[in-house]
Amino acid sequence: MLTQAVESYLAVRRATGFRFKSEGSLLQDFAAFSAASGKHYVCSETALEWAGSAHSIFQRARRLGQVIRFARYIRAEDQRHEQPTPVYGPEKRSRPIPYIFSRDGIQRFLQATSQSGYRTLRRDTYRTFFALLACTGLRVSEAIHLRYEDITQDGLVIRCSKFRKSRLVPLHDTAQAALESYLVLRRPYAPFDDHVFISLRRKPLRIGDVETAFHTAAKKVGITSNAGQPRPTPHSFRHTFAVRALETCPDGRDRITQHMLALSTYLGHSQIANTYWYLSATPDLMSTIADSCQDFFTGVRS
């Protein structure tokens, strides 16, 4: 009975657009565990025992969270199902404070990238790759998967990236020109592969390749990761882009709302809360918000 209820729940969630691959496997495993224990309804004790078999506290919390959401759904039809208490705490680790490049820092980093390694296409590839991340805020995976046909006069077409969403990312004229200059060098190198960025193996870049190139250039310009401090990664360019965009946010509640919504859409966030996170995660922005609040309540600004 519980197995059938799980399959019905998964069918509903998937019909509304959720993939539910790993989540579905977890719930099916829970249903099998419950059946082996002689339980035909969600039982809090059984759920805690099943979730507790995971290795880490976050895995236990994630497992239990799946059961809680399933129980909340199925209890609407049958109150014999129990809803467990989230005794293992939050399912996700708190997001770390992002590393934000200074404007000068980006220039120094790109200069170092253009001088790293042998005098081959590699230098132009990574200089263009990281510059594109910095001026567009793309995810690393989105830049890696770019193909020739994705470069249009209106900008970059980002196809079915994270959350299976596609979007158009406008390019400044200077960025468009730099990308076209790079392609002049890149096209003859691997003429039968239409990925924009390729490695010296004449194959699409891999995440590991990008991370290695990033840390090599970062070390060269003195950007290091210290304990207790924000950790620089290739994704830091996206963080920096988002923060700089928020710094240009106009005054006024309605204008701020419109600005945040536009930025969230541009970045491809599934929830606008992910965009607002930058406000609380960036000390400079928090300081600006605090100053604005103080000015408002003291009557300095209306």
In tens, the pLDDT along 192-229 reads 999 999 998 899 999 999 999 999 999 999 988 777 78
Can you give the residue ranges of every domain in the chain? Answer: 2-74, 103-220, 236-297
Is the pLDDT assigned to residue 259 strictly greater than 90?
A: no
What residues are labeled active site?
A: 139, 162, 235, 238, 269, 278
Within 10 A of 135 (CB to CB), how many other CB atoms are there? 16
Q: Over the chain, what is the mean pLDDT?
A: 87
With a CB cutoff of 8 Å and minimum separation 6, the contacts of 148 are 183, 194, 196
User: Ranked by mean pLDDT, which of 47-56, 253-262, 287-296 comes out on top?
Assistant: 47-56
Is pLDDT at 234 greater than 50 in this prediction?
yes
Domain 103-220, CATH: 1.10.443.10
Average of per-residue pLDDT across 177-186: 95
pLDDT over 90 (residue 27) = yes
Query: What pLDDT, on the 0 to 100 scale, is given for residue 302?
Result: 46
Q: What is the mean pLDDT of residues 55-68?
A: 93
Lowest mean pLDDT among 67-76, 185-194, 214-223, 227-236: 227-236
pLDDT digits (tens, 9 = 90+) for 30-48: 999 999 999 999 999 999 9
Cβ atoms of residues 169 and 156 within 8 Å: yes
pLDDT of residue 252: 65
Global pTM exceeds 0.85: no
Is residue 55 pLDDT above 50, yes or no? Answer: yes
Segment 119-165, tens digit of pLDDT:
788 999 999 999 999 999 999 999 999 999 999 999 999 986 665 67
Kindly write down the DSSP assignment for every residue of the chain, as one continuous string: -HHHHHHHHHHHHHHTT---SHHHHHHHHHHHHHHHTT-SS--HHHHHHHHTTSSSHHHHHHHHHHHHHHHHHHTTT-TTS-----TT--SSPPPPPPP---HHHHHHHHHHHTTSSSSSHHHHHHHHHHHHHHHH---HHHHHT-BGGGEETTEEEE-S-GGG--EEE---HHHHHHHHHHHHHHTTTSTT--BSSB-TTSSB--HHHHHHHHHHHHHHTT----TTSPPP-TTHHHHHHHHHHHHTPPSSHHHHHHHHHHHHHHHT-SSTHHHHHHHHH-HHHHHHHHHHHHHHHTTS--
pLDDT at residue 98, rounded to an integer: 86
pLDDT at 284: 66
By percentage, how much of the chain surpasses pLDDT 70?
Answer: 88
pLDDT over 90 (residue 176): yes
Q: Count Cα atoms within 13 angstroms, Cβ side, for 45.
A: 3
Which of 4-13, 232-241, 258-267 has the weakest average pLDDT? 258-267
